[in-house]
Structure 1
Amino acid sequence: MKPTQLEIQCSMQILKPVHKVFEAIVNPEQMTNYFISKSSGRMEEGKKLIWNFPEIKADVPVKVDKVIKDEYISYYWENGESTQLVEMSLKPYKDGTTIVTVTEKGMENNEAGIKWLKGNTEGWANFLACLKAWMEYGVHLRKGAFDYRFDKK
């Protein structure tokens, strides 16, 4: 029997302490270096935010659900006609590094859900790679990466 709900999960080790990685995720001034282009505020429990991304020209509503300092962040965001739960867990690892695991849940196992699964799995892998590049090397991988999508042909 196939599952009725689809779920994405990706993990990556970031060679920085948990508290620094946590701050990079909740602080919009840091998030703009690897994930979003703009946010209406800091990720705090119960807060409603608007995010903008460099690859799409749209406001993305975000409702922060739960925040446990240096351990866990969850929020809901809208994906067209539906809303998904995103959970990020941070676990200390060897030598003061951090394992970041991102899980996104809530799409039906149908054609639209499979399309979402493909696109958002790619997106979360990109998120983790960009977070790692920014945290460890100060490299902003997303800068200019999506400009071609807005060029008029």
Structure 2
Amino acid sequence: MKELEIKTAIQISKSPTDVFEAIVNPVKMSNYFISKGDARMETGKTVNWKFPEFPEMTLTVKVIEVKASELIVFEWEGAKDQFLEVRINLEEMPNLNTLVKISEGKMKNTVEGILWYGRNTEGWANFLACLKAYLEYDINLRNGAFDFMNSKKKR
């Protein structure tokens, strides 16, 4: 049975240095993804992220490796009780563009694994779209995007 692994990518019209800073710097990341991070992502550090739409949740990220403007590797609880590795590769492209490649995994091809695969693939696609919108257009796509999840109104 083949294991599941998430792989996704997007090209961003900014330099690898700009993209890297937007990911490792919690102040910049709070402009498109998190509401707060307690530290910069650096090799060997553990950082905590809070999300604007889920104020009661704190996500702990264990940073494994960071190479400036090239690579960010961390481990997190990608699924309940499953600590998974995330790799973010930054590849310089022509005209100061950056190809951002993300992989996460692996999990067994089970019901739990398939649910993780769908949920986290959606999450990484959202992350990449938000990162691109922030860096290229200074827009925070998450503003109000998840208000429906906290709404007590019945539909």
TM-score clears 0.5: yes
Instruction: Name the CA distance, whole Å, in 1 between partners of 2:106 and 2:15.
Output: 30
Residue 46 of structure 2 aligns with which residue?
Answer: 48
Query: Is there any run of 5+ residues in structure 1 with no aligned partner, and where?
Result: none
Letter in 2 for 1:127: F
RMSD: 1.0
User: Separation in 1 of the partners of 2:14 and 2:152?
Assistant: 40
8 Å contact 1:86–1:102 — kept in the other structure? Answer: yes
Match of 1:15 among 13, 16, 33: 13
* 1:142 CA drift (Å): 0.4
Q: How does 1:92-111 map to 2 (within 5 A)?
A: 92-111=92-111
Letter in 2 for 1:69: A
Conserved? CA contact 1:77–1:83, under 8 Å: yes
Q: d(CA) in 2 for partners of 1:105 and 1:123?
A: 14
Q: Determine the C-alpha separation between the residues in 1 that align with 2:108 and 2:100.
A: 25
Q: Is the 8 A contact 1:83 1:106 kept in 2?
A: no
Give 1:87 deviation, angstroms. 0.4
Q: Sort the Cα spacing of 1:55 and 1:110 in 2 relative to 1 into closer, same or farther, 3 A.
A: farther
Percent identity (aligned): 48
**How many pairs does the alignment contain?**
151
Determine which of 32, 35, 58 is the counterpart of 1:34.
32
Match of 2:86 in 1: 86
Tell me the CA shift for residue 110 of structure 1: 0.3
Shift of 1:67: 0.2
Q: Deviations over 1:60-84 (max 9, x none)?
A: 1110000000100000011321111
Deviation at 1:55, TM superposition (A): 3.6
Q: Which runs of 4+ in 1 moved over 6 A?
A: none
Report the AA paired with residue 132 of structure 2: K
Structure-1 separation of matches of 2:52 and 2:109:
29
What's 1:76 paired with?
A: 75
**Letter paired with 2:29:** M
Q: Which moved more, 1:87-96 or 1:142-151?
A: 142-151
**In the alignment, residue 93 of structure 2 is paired with which amino acid?**
Y
Worse-matched range after superposition: 95-104 or 143-152? 143-152
